[in-house]
Amino acid sequence: MAASNALYTILTEKINQDTLVLPTLPEVALKVRAAADDPEINLSQMSDIIAQDPALSLGMLKVANSAILGRSVKVETVPQAVTRIGLQQIKSIATAMALEQVFVSDNDIVKLYMKKSWAKTIDIASVAISLMTLYLKENKRTSLSLDTITLAALVHNIGVLPILTEAENHPDVFANPTFLQQAIIKLSGRIGGAITRAWGFSDEFTLLAESWSDLTILPNEVHYLDFIRAGAIYHDVFKNETTKEALLANYTKKGILPEVDYMQCDEFSAMCAEVKTMFT
């Protein structure tokens, strides 16, 4: 356990001393977020900013043409996509689309772990977004929104990045993935909170990053945490069967799921696959 303890000790010390190197948001995401906060910004100016980044432009087109927006007429340009999505939602959606750029490393082993982490994040996000889409159809007066759950689901596990980066200095940790997983379980929430705060996200996103895996926190009302955790259940992140059954029963009671085993049906699987195409 020496490798695990060494990594855990180093990470904890850096967190406590506020010296842990945190990832930064991609520049285009920073530009979009700053522009969205400008009361003078218009759709044309926002389109010009997004068009500067080919990957983000493609991502916005995918979102605008996705089934979750429920539009049958295809848009083919960035201005059309921005108009369809709307300035109010652009800030969260554009940030979410740019996040993949953060999951990078020059180290082959770290790169592999980051790739797996991003893939799992997309899997969970696809479920959360699909469930939110269904929920919004039946609950039009809710304060919850699709753009918020999209960004929240994609940053919920962002705390793994500094852990993987630090683990690069401890190659023996990668030889036993259990060691690395222990550090992730113990510290990723706390680090995720630090990252979202550093990025200037709202307290809501910080709570999600810090608490999504802490099942002692159980909101009474329908909450973004519920949708992310449902995605984690779907992709077998939570292992305890009793816990999963209790959570699913609670989500059915809250109206997030039509029935306890709804996520097992072919219709839902197809919906998740459709949503996932936005990120792949």
For the chain, the DSSP string reads -HHHHHHHHHHHHHHHTT-PPPP---HHHHHHHHHHT-TT--HHHHHHHHHT-HHHHHHHHHHHTSGGGT--SPP-SHHHHHHHH-HHHHHHHHHHHHGGGGS--SSHHHHHHHHHHHHHHHHHHHHHHHHHHHHHHH-TT-S--HHHHHHHHHHTTTTHHHHHHHHTT-HHHHHSHHHHHHHHHHHHHHHHHHHHHHTT--HHHHHHHHHTT-TT---SS--HHHHHHHHHHHTT----HHHHHHHHHHHHHHTSSSSTTGGGSHHHHHHHHHHHGGG-
Decide if pLDDT at 78 tops 90: yes
Written as one string, the DSSP assignment of 196-246 is HHHTT--HHHHHHHHHTT-TT---SS--HHHHHHHHHHHTT----HHHHHH
Decide if pLDDT at 2 tops 90: no
Decide if pLDDT at 171 tops 70: yes
pLDDT of the residue at 4? 58
How many CA atoms lie within 13 Å of 216's alpha carbon, on the beta-carbon side?
A: 1
pLDDT of the residue at 87? 85
Decide if pLDDT at 5 tops 80: no
pLDDT of the residue at 194? 93
Q: Both tokens of residue 245?
A: 């059954």
pLDDT of the residue at 178? 82
Tell me: the pLDDT tens digits for 198-208?
999 999 999 99
Gap between the Cα atoms of 16 and 207, Å rounded: 19
Q: 105 or 127: which carries more pLDDT confidence?
A: 127
Which candidate, 216, 151, 163, 211, places its Cα nearest to that of 187? 163
Do 250 and 230 form a contact (C-beta atoms < 8 A)? no
The pTM of the whole model exceeds 0.75 = yes
Q: Is residue 204 part of a domain?
A: yes
Tell me: the pLDDT tens digits for 218-268?
999 999 999 999 999 999 999 899 999 999 999 999 999 999 999 999 999
State how many domains the chain has: 1
Gap between the Cα atoms of 9 and 32, Å rounded: 37
Q: Is residue 153 part of a domain?
A: yes
Tell me: the pLDDT tens digits for 13-25?
998 898 998 999 9
Q: What is the mean pLDDT of residues 177-183?
A: 83
Q: Is residue 9 part of a domain?
A: yes
Domain of 138: which CATH number?
A: 1.10.3210.10
Q: Is residue 39 part of a domain?
A: no
Q: Is residue 158 part of a domain?
A: yes
For residue 268, what are the domain limits?
A: 2-24+101-279
Q: What is the mean pLDDT of residues 115-137?
A: 96
Gap between the Cα atoms of 106 and 228, Å rounded: 30
Percentage of the residues of the chain whose pLDDT score is greater than 70: 97
pLDDT of the residue at 1? 47
Q: Both tokens of residue 31?
A: 């530009």
pLDDT of the residue at 155? 96
Please count the other Cβ atoms lying within 10 Å of the Cβ belonging to residue 275: 23
Gap between the Cα atoms of 141 and 146, Å rounded: 13
Q: Is residue 133 part of a domain?
A: yes
Percentage of the residues of the chain whose pLDDT score is greater than 90: 73
Q: 231 or 72: which carries more pLDDT confidence?
A: 231
